[in-house]
Homo-oligomer: A and B are copies of this chain.
Amino acid sequence: MNGKRATAFVPGHVTAFFSAHPAEDPAAAGSRGAGLTLSDGVDVTVTLVDDADAADDSPVALALNGEPATIGAVGDVLAALDVRARVTLATDLPVGAGFGVSGAAALGTAFAANAAADRGRSENELVRIAHEAEVERGTGLGDVVAQARGGIPIRLEPGAPGHGVLDGVPAHARVEYVTFGELSTEDVLAGDTAALTQAGERALSRLRADPRLPTLMDASREFAERADLLVPEVAEAIEAVATAGDSEDPDGFGGSAAMAMLGRTVFALGTGLSDAGYDPAVCHTHPAGARLVGEAQ
């Protein structure tokens, strides 16, 4: 099987708000909340290696945009599928900034390794394996199930398939984003999450009562304040977008920006950040979840 490879694409995911729901069983643990999956995502290529090739090495050799990298969940996914492989990640998304790159890496590795090594797992099984790896590493709670679904996912109940329940906001939008630096998901999730969870549950109730994009953005801003997660640069950008949006509103989304959980990142619908004078990256909500895009011998 040496050299056989497969590639999967996984959309990025910005979480608008969430509540944390730990559990003994990592498949049952996770988060409730909502967010946007993005057409900017991660291409994950898994290339099988012989045991002999890898004997004096770690079981996984990982490269991110050409540089050596370490993402614990990727190795855990390969181990769960009993696959030895090189994994290469290619993405335009900022890392550690709230775009679900680690979730995408884990989920894409599951899809691509299953295809390259012909493991015969179903999609739900692959999502579960990637979700468990993220939860056990403490690097994410809800990105994987959102990224497996696509669209604008609402996480009604936490956990992997068989536990979690998803819905979605039936909409699509142009999305702009600007990142001011990293924020550690592990640190926030390891801290006291009581206030955060209360604010997240409140935001989810609002969105369930009115599953529209403007409500999602408004609930996200309220969540960031109540959970005390707003960082100054992001707060300033949200304010600037709101001010600019009062004068310009070409598509009805003017003035609507929020903070990506968890990153020093602001995202806006339509042309919100451009209108406010920022120089944002531009993408769209993504209609599909993770998928295989190619296989080769």
A contact set with B: CB distance below 8 Å: 111, 114-115, 120-124, 126, 150-151, 154, 161, 167-172, 208, 210-212, 287-289, 291-293
Q: Give Cα A123–Cα B167 distance, bound, in whole angstroms.
A: 6
Q: Give Cα A287–Cα B288 distance, bound, in whole angstroms.
A: 6
Find out whether the CB atom of A170 lies under 8 angstroms from the CB atom of B210.
no
Q: Chain B's nearest CB lies how many Å from the CB of A207? A: 9
Find out whether the CB atom of B123 lies under 8 angstroms from the CB atom of A170.
yes
User: Which B residues touch A123, using CB under 8 A?
Assistant: 151, 167-170, 211
User: Which B residues touch A115, using CB under 8 A?
Assistant: 170-171
Interface of A is mostly: loop
Other A-B pairs beyond A111-B170, A123-B151, 19, CB < 8 Å: A114-B170, A115-B170, A120-B210, A120-B211, A120-B212, A121-B211, A122-B154, A122-B168, A122-B170, A123-B167, A123-B211, A124-B168, A126-B170, A151-B289, A170-B291, A170-B292, A287-B288, A287-B291, A288-B288
Q: Which of A111, A291, A292 has the most CB of B within 10 A?
A: A291
Find out whether the CB atom of A172 lies under 8 angstroms from the CB atom of B292.
yes
Find out whether the CB atom of A288 lies under 8 angstroms from the CB atom of B150.
yes
User: Which B residues touch A210, using CB under 8 A?
Assistant: 120
What are 24 pairs between A and B in contact, CB < 8 Å? A111-B170, A120-B210, A120-B212, A121-B170, A121-B211, A122-B167, A122-B170, A122-B208, A122-B211, A123-B151, A123-B167, A123-B168, A123-B169, A124-B167, A150-B288, A161-B167, A170-B291, A172-B291, A172-B292, A172-B293, A287-B288, A287-B289, A287-B291, A288-B289
Name A115's closest neighbour in chain B (CB-CB): B170
Name A111's closest neighbour in chain B (CB-CB): B170
Q: Give Cα A171–Cα B212 distance, bound, in whole angstroms.
A: 32
User: Which B residues touch A150, using CB under 8 A?
Assistant: 288
Q: Chain B's nearest CB lies how many Å from the CB of A229? A: 26
Q: Chain B's nearest CB lies how many Å from the CB of A20? A: 23
The 9 closest A-B pairs by CB, nearest first: A288-B288, A123-B168, A122-B211, A287-B288, A124-B167, A287-B291, A122-B167, A123-B170, A120-B212
Find out whether the CB atom of B122 lies under 8 angstroms from the CB atom of A169.
yes
User: Which B residues touch A168, using CB under 8 A?
Assistant: 122-124
User: Which B residues touch A289, using CB under 8 A?
Assistant: 151, 287-288
Q: Chain B's nearest CB lies how many Å from the CB of A153? A: 9
Q: Give Cα A123–Cα B122 distance, bound, in whole angstroms.
A: 24
Find out whether the CB atom of B171 lies under 8 angstroms from the CB atom of A292.
yes
Q: Chain B's nearest CB lies how many Å from the CB of A280? A: 23
User: Which B residues touch A169, using CB under 8 A?
Assistant: 122-123
User: Which B residues touch A211, using CB under 8 A?
Assistant: 120-123
